[in-house]
Amino acid sequence: MKSYEETLKLLQDKGQTQLLKYYDELSENEKEALLEQINNIDFDVIDAGIAAMGKNERGSFKPLKALRIEDIEKEKDKDLETGLDAIKNGKVGAMLLAGGMGTRLGSDDPKGMYNIGLTKEVFIFQRIIENLLDVVNKAGAYIELFIMTSDKNHDKTVAFLKEKNYFGYDEKHITFFKQEMAAATDRNGKIYLEEKGRVSTSPNGNGGWFASMIRTGAIERVKSTGIEWLNVFAVDNVLQRIADPVFVGATINHNCEIGAKVVKKAARDEKVGVMCLEDDKPSIVEYYELDDKMMDEIDPETGERAYNYGVILNYLFNVKALFRVADMNMPLHVVEKKIQYVDDKGAVVKPEEPNGYKYESLVLDMIHMMDSCLPFEVKRNYEFAPVKNKTGVDSVESARALCKENGIEL
């Protein structure tokens, strides 16, 4: 345990002494907790994040062909058989990314606890587990489910799922683990206090999930059960098809290290990241990186736009390939967010507008670490209903409408 003096010295070196501003007002326990928290901060993340800002150097882009719905239909029987076989043999695990804060939705509870029901309770977690159970029942075998949480929502998530009896999932096949946290700063890189005795931290993005699996030991479950593929997915898509046997089979049969579920863009300039090749490796080109020429480029074989398929955060990763890249550094993204802080007068403020930065790594950067990728088209209205906001685009309202369209009672 480092002393006050040692901690002060560290903060002087890092230019972050504001973190001890209210130290004298704290109880002995709070003092100890704050010193420990400060000494656990990874200051390099902040320096690296700020240094990388605005320097998003990209390689040269080329189109990457997607397996379109009509192509999928042609090889469906074979892929279904391969996929179901892999699932029956326990080679596929489901990896739920549920460590995010869901700040846009504005609920203090974990996003999965959000009730989208109208006449009855339908929780987001419930929708996900029901969809996964469809495959479990079809395959006649349980799929290992991994749930990543963070310090901010772990206890509530675990308690909620237990109270709901895991919505019918066998708890023997569920493994929880926590992701890491990163300090949050103002726009000058000064770390915020979220309370007088607590540094403001937030989950370090969804890109660290495999590293966190290794660090927490959750990976032992992957190894002991012989899982070869991990289907990574977001908590907030209430129509998500997980461990979809045809998708699994197609990724295996096309000899790809990763499969990515994609949807056709709704418009040439839709604001979604699009699958592509970057320096001949799979990647995602952001909508603001697509110039007019790329936006209008046509694939001569299909007559469709060449950059036409957006990702929906549903990826099937080959575990061997994940181990191969496990030690590689991931790019850091500095994201503007609303961050609770203690103001100059010592009052806790919950801002209405973004007031600083969080430092995150993103799962989509892992795609570029893989050698080959199969973009696999799914019907947008059938598989993509993200709940990001309360109203408007990608909201509780739009997700409810899509559930209705798919005959799901709410």
Minimum CB–partner distance for residue 103 and ligand UTP (Å): 3
Among residues 144, 194, 236, 377, the one that binds ligand UTP under rule CB under 6 A: 236
Residue 189 CA to residue 210 CA, distance in Å, equals 27
Angle at 146 between CA 227 and CA 134, to 5 degrees: 85
What long-range pairs does 294-301 form, CB within 8 A, spacing at least 24?
294/61, 295/268, 295/269, 296/268, 297/63, 299/63, 299/65
Among 28, 340, 387, which Cα is nearest to 191's? 340
Contacts of 259 (CB under 8 A, 6+ apart): 247, 248, 250, 251, 315, 316, 373, 374, 376
Among residues 10, 94, 98, 129, the one that binds ligand UTP under rule CB under 6 A: 98
Binding mask 364-403 for ligand UTP (x = CB under 6 A): ------------------------x---------------
Number of residues that bind ligand UTP (CB under 6 A): 20
320 within 8 A of 151, measured Cβ to Cβ: no
84 or 339: CB nearest ligand UTP: 339
Minimum CB–partner distance for residue 108 and ligand UTP (Å): 12
Length of the chain: 410
Minimum CB–partner distance for residue 30 and ligand UTP (Å): 26
Among residues 235, 260, 306, 385, the one that binds ligand UTP under rule CB under 6 A: 235
Binding mask 195-224 for ligand UTP (x = CB under 6 A): --------xxxx------------------
Among 184, 231, 232, 179, which Cα is nearest to 208's? 179
The answer to whether 97 contacts ligand UTP (rule: CB under 6 A) is yes
Minimum CB–partner distance for residue 386 and ligand UTP (Å): 8
Q: Which stretch binds ligand UTP (CB under 6 A): 98-106, 250-258, 289-297, 318-326?
A: 98-106
113 within 8 A of 123, measured Cβ to Cβ: yes
122 or 363: CB nearest ligand UTP: 363
Residues 125-164 that bind ligand UTP (CB under 6 A): 148
Residue 46 tokens, joined? 């902040």
Residue 223 CA to residue 341 CA, distance in Å, equals 42
Report the amino acid identity of residue 87.
I
- 407 by Cβ neighbours in 10 Å (0-12 / 13-18 / 19+) ranks as exposed
Q: Which stretch binds ligand UTP (CB under 6 A): 76-84, 134-142, 232-240, 264-272?
A: 232-240
The answer to whether 99 contacts ligand UTP (rule: CB under 6 A) is yes
Minimum CB–partner distance for residue 348 and ligand UTP (Å): 19
The answer to whether 100 contacts ligand UTP (rule: CB under 6 A) is yes
The answer to whether 37 contacts ligand UTP (rule: CB under 6 A) is no
Q: Which stretch binds ligand UTP (CB under 6 A): 4-12, 231-239, 280-288, 339-347?
A: 231-239
The answer to whether 179 contacts ligand UTP (rule: CB under 6 A) is yes
Residue 3 CA to residue 308 CA, distance in Å, equals 57
Residue 203 tokens, joined? 């989950």
Minimum CB–partner distance for residue 169 and ligand UTP (Å): 18
The answer to whether 49 contacts ligand UTP (rule: CB under 6 A) is no
Angle at 313 between CA 307 and CA 317, to 5 degrees: 95
H or E stretch at 174: strand 174-178
The answer to whether 101 contacts ligand UTP (rule: CB under 6 A) is yes
Residues near ligand UTP (CB under 6 A) are 97-104, 111, 148, 179, 203-206, 234-236, 360, 388
